[in-house]
Amino acid sequence: MIYCGIDWAENHHDVALVDDSGQLLAKRRIGDDAAGYQLLVELLADHGDTEDAPIPVAIETSRGLLVAVLRTGKRQVFAINPMAAARYRDRHSVSRKKSDHGDALANILRTDMHAHRALPNDSDLARAIAVLARAQQDAIWNRQQLSNQLRSLLREYYPAALDAFAKWTNGLCRPEAREILRAAPTATRAARLTRTQIQAALKRAGRKRGIEAEAVRLREIFRSEWAHQPPLVEDALGKQMLALLVQLDAACTAADDLAEAVEEAFPQHPDAEIILSFPGLGVQLGARVLAKIGDDRTRFADARGLKAYAGASPITRASGKKSSITRRWVKNDRLNHAGYLWAFSAITASPGAKAHYRRRRDDHGDWHAAAQRNLFNRMIGQLYHCLQQHTLFDENTAFPTEAAIAA
């Protein structure tokens, strides 16, 4: 059997082929372009690569055009963690010099392919949803980071704005808040705003109701007594705030556009109906869950594998007579974050989930995070079962005891 390892870089990739005995059969440097990809395909074909029996490939990334080319057909592509590749080199050499050109990755497959997992064979639609869901989540995090920076800046010279927008959901991320800040970037200019100007700003932001009452409230806040920076400093801070506001506008637009794209793509997937049948999972959160678990039914051998991957199941560490049960730190962070939000929402959306959470708190003495993690562990196991059996979530089946207690 032949094994291939690719040491990838930005402009070129080093390819190495080894056989069962570890002998280096070929070594080639290819470019990161169509010609280089074609050269790689020809090199694999010269050494026995066929459509029915493709040569497995190890590479230190799971993304990019090169990986997309390799994943066509039935080929197994293994994304090897760079730390695992470094530890493998330490097994065979005491020198820390990196001069393998991909043969170390090929030898990892030769000796330890059973210990590594190939990239899942997800459908194109599932992979497209994964791209959109990940980008939408990144956009939300970026929007929140910029909002925090803007809030910190306003505290230095413009606290009236924070007080004025405190009662609004999403605060500084709302179009009304951004439109008013654009019209009055400093506290001095905000105090000069008339009620008509404030109403016009609210209308430009898309507000339809309660405009007059909101304009009166904002005008009273802006004209109250507040401490001020020196005029020149205040103007400079106002210009800094406007520059930051441009970035926040772009982040808000990107998050909204990506959310619409997710809402359009996710319902088209066959698993969407099953995922949305679970309490606490909506379109956005359900898309994030699908993005991480995929639709390859052979990816996880059983529910325990999925629970460990999500970081929901505990881990036991034992040494001598001592043992401890702690949370799992090695996990998929994005799926674990989605599970935290899922369990938090399910507590109020499902009577059985709420009863299970209360039982963990009251009878087992778990803290909030531990009880919520236990609930996520149970529900993601139920999701695995429903996806395997192609059945929708049923409250009485999922929480028979808890549902009876709640009733």
User: Is residue 379 one of the residues assigned to a domain?
Assistant: yes
Fill in the amino acid letter for 319: S
Residue that finishes a domain, picked among 264, 298, 321: 264
pLDDT at 116 over 90: no
Evaluate the CA torsion angle 262, 264, 269, 270 in order and state its sign: positive
User: Is residue 174 one of the residues assigned to a domain?
Assistant: yes
Long-range contacts of 52-55 (CB under 8 A, 24+ apart): 55/2, 55/3, 55/4, 55/17
Biggest alpha carbon–alpha carbon distance for the chain: 83
The average pLDDT across 30-59 equals 89
Please indicate, yes or no, whether residues 222 and 304 belong to a single structural domain of this protein.
Answer: no
Please indicate, yes or no, whether residues 230 and 260 belong to a single structural domain of this protein.
Answer: yes
Please indicate, yes or no, whether residues 136 and 173 belong to a single structural domain of this protein.
Answer: yes
Domain of 156 in residue numbering reads as 129-264
The average pLDDT across 73-81 equals 88
3-state secondary structure of 302: coil
What is the rounded CA–CA span in Å between residue 291 and residue 41?
29
pLDDT at 92 over 80: no
CB 167 within 8 A of CB 187: no
Please indicate, yes or no, whether residues 179 and 293 belong to a single structural domain of this protein.
Answer: no
Please indicate, yes or no, whether residues 187 and 282 belong to a single structural domain of this protein.
Answer: no
CATH code of residue 72: 3.30.420.40
Residue with tokens 């991909």: 102
Q: How many CA atoms lie within 13 A of 383 on its CB side?
A: 30
3-state secondary structure of 63: coil
CB 343 within 8 A of CB 395: no
Tokens of 46: 């010269």
Residues forming beta bridges with residue 310, ordered by sequence position = none
Please indicate, yes or no, whether residues 134 and 255 belong to a single structural domain of this protein.
Answer: yes
User: Is residue 62 one of the residues assigned to a domain?
Assistant: yes
CB 168 within 8 A of CB 159: no
User: Is residue 144 one of the residues assigned to a domain?
Assistant: yes
User: Is residue 124 one of the residues assigned to a domain?
Assistant: no
What is the rounded CA–CA span in Å between residue 64 and residue 58?
14
What digits encode the pLDDT tens for the residues 158-203? 999 999 999 888 889 999 999 999 999 999 999 999 999 999 999 9
Please indicate, yes or no, whether residues 194 and 216 belong to a single structural domain of this protein.
Answer: yes
What is the rounded CA–CA span in Å between residue 175 and residue 379?
37
Tokens of 182: 């654009």
What is the rounded CA–CA span in Å between residue 286 and residue 268?
13
User: Is residue 159 one of the residues assigned to a domain?
Assistant: yes
Please indicate, yes or no, whether residues 96 and 159 belong to a single structural domain of this protein.
Answer: no
User: Is residue 284 one of the residues assigned to a domain?
Assistant: yes
Residue that finishes a domain, picked among 217, 241, 264: 264
Please indicate, yes or no, whether residues 13 and 95 belong to a single structural domain of this protein.
Answer: yes
Residue that finishes a domain, picked among 218, 246, 264: 264
Question: How many domains is the chain built from?
Answer: 3
What is the rounded CA–CA span in Å between residue 182 and residue 198?
11
Number of H helices, E strands in the chain: 19, 7
- pLDDT grade, residue 86 (50/70/90)? confident
Tokens of 138: 């990144």
- pLDDT grade, residue 407 (50/70/90)? low
pTM: 0.85
- pLDDT grade, residue 150 (50/70/90)? very high
Please indicate, yes or no, whether residues 94 and 158 belong to a single structural domain of this protein.
Answer: no
Please indicate, yes or no, whether residues 259 and 292 belong to a single structural domain of this protein.
Answer: no
- pLDDT grade, residue 378 (50/70/90)? very high
Please indicate, yes or no, whether residues 111 and 155 belong to a single structural domain of this protein.
Answer: no
For the chain, the first-to-last Cα distance in angstroms comes to 61
From 88-97, 246-255, 392-401, the region with the lowest mean pLDDT: 88-97
Tokens of 366: 């778990």
Nearest 10 degrees: Cα torsion 228, 234, 237, 238: 100
User: Is residue 115 one of the residues assigned to a domain?
Assistant: yes
